Amino acid sequence: MSDVHGWCDPRFERVRDVLAQSLASGADQGASFAATLDGEPVVDIWGGWADAAGTVPWGQDTIINVYSTTKTMCALTALWLADQGALDFGQRVAHYWPEFAAAGKTDVTVAQLMSHSAGLSGFAAPMQPDDLYDWDLCCERLAAQAPYWAPGTAPGYHAITQGFLVGEVVRRITGDTLGTVFARELAGPLGADFHIGLDAAHDGRVAELIPPPPGSGIADVSGSDLSRNMATNPRIDPVDTRTRAWRAAEIPAANGHGNARSVAAVQTLMANGGVAGGKRLLSEAGVRRALELQVEGDDLVLGLPVRYGLGYGLPGPMRPLPNANTVFWGGYGGSLVIADMDARLCMAFVMNRMAGTTVGDMRAGMLALAVWQALAA
């Protein structure tokens, strides 16, 4: 069985065994898992290799691109801003971003951006991968285009676009990029090693994402026109995450870098009523707004039954969870974070061997199950 490093509260030693088995079987190459309970760490473990060749150990401070798990940081930044009284989710986006009203989007609300129901699941104009590094270009194109469906009437996963849409609202209100606000108001006060826009000084700690098996990536799988547009305009290629340009950019829906410890450190705010690391950064009412159901039904992009709150997924057919007052989301390849407000429990998993899944897979699920089982024992 592969070595797993780090620490577990004795109640959760089974979790260490689950990660060790995943590494030994080859399901994982390198990974980390962390959990907090009542705001305090109870699991912080890691193991395996940070590179595909198996020459660089996954260390305590290894970080990696977590794809759409980044969306939970984007959402929490918006929730923080709303908790400060500066952002109204019921307000029209054009109130903050006047140019957005073009092409029939006058009545689109911020809540619809947060819940993947704004009809802007992908770019209408042809996009190249490097275009994602140009914030103004992305926002100008989204502001100019018409929705693909009537906003608010159905969910459709905004895989890349959500970060630009919510991030531009944050920028219009604060004058700063979402990554800057997140670092200053959330990650910084908590000492969390999570970055939306990564400085080159950290490059040596970044693990290498290993793409899914040939033919199973999101850009390879056929689906609806909306699904193909999301995955191929521009094409989402995990190899791009190894470049300085990708890491330096702010793509708040997809290019956050961190490890399980830092993901859990921040998202503990959601699980623990706005308090993490002994610091209150949001009110309990402010974090519980994420539980407000905005839209549900078959996602027009994912083709799965979903339930979206404000910025997070809610328990339902796609991901049944033991407690109703829980929020979650995961990233392309398998990363996942769950914030269970009933149990005051936060769990996070990140890895480098990607599965072909868009929003998390069973590796994270088995680790989370081991935690819930330990709590129930």
Helices (H), the chain: 13-25, 70-83, 93-96, 110-114, 135-144, 161-174, 178-182, 188-190, 225-232, 244-248, 260-271, 284-288, 362-376
Q: What string of H, E and C letters represents the secondary structure of 49-86?
A: ECCCCCCCECCCCCEEECECCHHHHHHHHHHHHHHCCC
| Residue 145: strand, helix, or coil | coil
> Residues 163, 137: contact at Cβ < 8 Å?
no
Residue with tokens 């009523």: 273
What is the per-residue pLDDT for 359?
66
Quote the CA–CA distance of 295 and 366 in Å, as a whole number. Answer: 28
Burial profile 200-238: b = 16 or more Cβ within 10 angstroms, e = fewer: eeeeebbbbbbbbeeeebbeeeeeeebbbbbbebbebeb
Give the model confidence (pLDDT) of 16-46 as tens digits: 999 999 999 999 999 999 999 999 999 999 9
Quote the CA–CA distance of 319 and 197 in Å, as a whole number. Answer: 30
Band of pLDDT at residue 223, cut at 50, 70 and 90: confident
Q: Which domain holds residue 370?
A: 4-376
Using alpha carbons, select from 374, 377, 339 the residue that is nearest to residue 36: 339
What is the per-residue pLDDT for 217?
83
Count how many residues are written for the chain: 377
Q: What's the Cα-to-Cα distance from 115 to each of 89, 170, 245, 308, rounded to whole Å?
A: 11, 16, 28, 5
What is the per-residue pLDDT for 220?
79
Neighbours of 364 (CB within 10 A): 28
pLDDT over 90, % of the chain = 93
What is the per-residue pLDDT for 136?
98
What is the per-residue pLDDT for 200?
98
Residues 6 or more apart whose CB falls under 8 angstroms from that of 276 comprise 36, 39, 190, 265, 266, 268, 269
Query: The sheet that has 195-196: what strands, in order across it?
Result: 64-65, 256-258, 195-196
- The pLDDT of 255-275, averaged and rounded, is 99
- Average pLDDT of the residues of the chain: 96
- The pLDDT of 211-217, averaged and rounded, is 87
pLDDT score of 103 more than 80: yes
pLDDT score of 376 more than 90: yes
Residues 6 or more apart whose CB falls under 8 angstroms from that of 352 comprise 29, 30, 31, 48, 49, 50, 52, 58, 64, 207, 208, 209, 210
What is the per-residue pLDDT for 222?
64
What is the per-residue pLDDT for 114?
99
State the catalytic residues.
68
What is the per-residue pLDDT for 357?
78
What is the per-residue pLDDT for 215?
81
CATH value at residue 41 = 3.40.710.10
What is the per-residue pLDDT for 42?
98
3-state helix, strand, coil in the chain (%, to 5): 40, 20, 45
> Considering just the CA atoms, what is the radius of gyration of the chain in Å?
19
Give the model confidence (pLDDT) of 148-200 as tens digits: 999 999 999 999 999 999 999 999 999 999 999 999 999 999 999 999 999 99
DSSP code string of 109-139: BHHHHHTT-SS-SS-SS---GGGGG-HHHHH
Quote the CA–CA distance of 270 and 202 in Å, as a whole number. Answer: 27
pTM for the model stands at: 0.98
- The pLDDT of 69-93, averaged and rounded, is 98
> Residues 249, 133: contact at Cβ < 8 Å?
yes
Band of pLDDT at residue 360, cut at 50, 70 and 90: low
Band of pLDDT at residue 209, cut at 50, 70 and 90: very high
The encoded tokens of residue 364 equal 């994270």
What's the total number of domains in the chain? 1
| Residue 173: strand, helix, or coil | helix
Q: Write phi, then psi, for 347 (nearest 5 degrees).
A: -135, 140
Give the model confidence (pLDDT) of 36-80 as tens digits: 999 999 999 999 999 999 999 999 999 999 999 999 999 999 999
pLDDT over 70, % of the chain = 99
